[in-house]
Amino acid sequence: MKTPPDAPGSSVPSSRLGRLARLGQMATGVAGSMLMNGARQLAQGKRPNLSDLLLTPANVSRVTEQLAQMRGAAMKLGQLISMDAGDMLPPELVAILARLRSDAQAMPHKQVQAVLGANWGAGWQQRLEPFSFTPIAAASIGQVHRAKTKDGRDLAIKIQYPGVRRSISSDVNNVASLLRLTGLIPKTLDIAPLLAEAKRQLREEADYQAEGAHLRRFAELLANAPEFVVPAFHADLSTRNVLAMSYVGGVPVESMVDAPQAERDRIVRLLVNLLFRELFEFGLMQTDPNFANYRYDPESRQLILLDFGATRSFAPAFGQGYRTLMRAVMAGDRAAMRQAAMDVGYFNAQTQPRHQTALLDMFEMALEPLCQAGEFDFGATDMVQRLRDAGMALGLDRDFWHIPPIDTLFLHRKLGGLYLLAARLRARINVRQLALPYLKP
């Protein structure tokens, strides 16, 4: 196969120096734009405001473009900030950072070919039908290509951007410092937990061999659940940087927003039940809440599960702790809730009573669907917004310094994403009925 000419795209800087240089260019561009705009306003007799100079459309677009070109940890950090702290950021920054969830730029053909040559060896083209260098999806740490092998397999090939794994810590630290220095992140916002989570999550997602093992494990766990489809793992074409899976079709799950109510309810019911199985039965959970990780086949009515990079194992005691906490919330037993929360690690006996009360209030809020007899209408509740407001208020209280166990953060991310999807689909389901079989002592 001849090397195709480069198509429009953006090479991923793979060296630490190259990635740092990109950040330097971004900082220089932002600073230069601020000086020009400030001088212009002074010449007009105006007193320039620093935040106004920073948050011009040109500056915010410049930051976003550079993060999208760098991909990897730099782009992931922008995604996490926009998803987890959006209510506390300037609206201009929220709007731009939100684009990072889907605006990754594809690698040019030559870089794709170099990555595949390094992982598959010389002559890799001989194993495939003509390879399409145009990705079918691009995200923060890799992009996906559809390919067919000479032996007839229809595959999705996920290719990791070069340099992502070794640049994780430095990328996250450098981008956070840059956003702080430019004032794009409020000084009152403590993003340290987000930075730590971004590093952990990226290190896990950047190991495609581990993701392949999770893919196989979920296929085994759901072998008797025909309502779900998990792509088959192809070990002969998989490495730490390349993941080969069977190609699956379907439509984005959020595109079912106009489907009949019964169909939307069924989709969310399947996902809620899967969450309970992951927590209480499997002890293994896919914790990335991105809607793109779910697709749906309207003909077969099957849910397609994608991207197992952020899969996390839970100890049996963790599931048991949440089982006890959920039962206490459903019973309205605040004393039992407090003890269960302490057992899980949300707080200890030295935590101020007002902080304990705030957390217990949030548990009750988050588990409202469990406490309602009959169907819970996700499309008619402001539960997610109330939870976010309460979480922000608690996070800004500097006296509340305790960070819960990391497992709880992953579970919260998954639960929050599921609630958002249920709200998007305006689902009405009986969550309590689904949960009861898993909450027996």
Q: Which residues contact 21 (CB under 8 A, 6 or more apart)?
A: 13
pLDDT tops 70 at residue 105:
no
> Can you give the pLDDT at residue 309?
86
Among residues 412, 427, 432, the alpha carbon closest in space to that of 366 is found at 412
Among residues 370, 371, 355, 348, the alpha carbon closest in space to that of 415 is found at 370
Q: Taking the chain, what is the end-to-end CA distance rounded to the nearest angstrom?
A: 61
Higher pLDDT: 111 or 53? It is 111
**How many residues are present in the chain?**
441
> Can you give the pLDDT at residue 377?
93
| Long-range pairs of 41-50 with CB within 8 A, sequence gap ≥ 24 | 50/183
| Active-site residue, 288 included | yes
Round to whole Å and give the CA distance between 238 and 241: 8
CA dihedral (43, 32, 108, 290) in degrees, to 10, reads: -90
Element holding 155 (H helix, E strand): strand 154-160
Q: Three-class SS of residue 47?
A: coil
> Can you give the pLDDT at residue 420?
86
Sign of the CA dihedral running 34, 39, 42, 46:
negative
> Can you give the pLDDT at residue 407?
81
pLDDT tops 50 at residue 20:
no
The domain ranges of the chain are: 1-248, 251-441
Higher pLDDT: 41 or 92? It is 92
Span 335-393, pLDDT tens digits: 998 998 888 888 777 778 888 888 888 888 888 899 888 999 998 988 877 877 776 66
Percent of the chain with pLDDT over 70: 67
Structure tokens at 384: 């997610």
- The mean pLDDT of 40-58, rounded to a whole number, is 44
Higher pLDDT: 273 or 1? It is 273
Among residues 239, 74, 229, 217, the alpha carbon closest in space to that of 157 is found at 239
Higher pLDDT: 289 or 273? It is 273
CB atoms within 10 A of CB 154: 13
CB atoms within 10 A of CB 349: 7
Please pick, among 84, 207, 288, 407, the residue that the annotation labels catalytic.
288
| DSSP 8-state class, residue 37 | H
Span 177-197, pLDDT tens digits: 666 665 555 565 566 776 776
> Can you give the pLDDT at residue 221?
96
- Burial class, 280, CB count within 10 angstroms (exposed 0-12 / middle 13-18 / buried 19+): buried
Q: What is the amino acid identity at position 336?
A: A
Among residues 165, 144, 10, 193, the alpha carbon closest in space to that of 72 is found at 165
Q: Which residues contact 258 (CB under 8 A, 6 or more apart)?
A: none
- Burial class, 43, CB count within 10 angstroms (exposed 0-12 / middle 13-18 / buried 19+): exposed
Please, what is the Cα angle at 94 between 89 and 96, to 5 degrees? 140
pLDDT tops 50 at residue 281:
yes
Among residues 70, 58, 68, 71, the alpha carbon closest in space to that of 30 is found at 58
Task: Assign 58 a pLDDT band (cuts: 50, 70, 90).
Answer: low
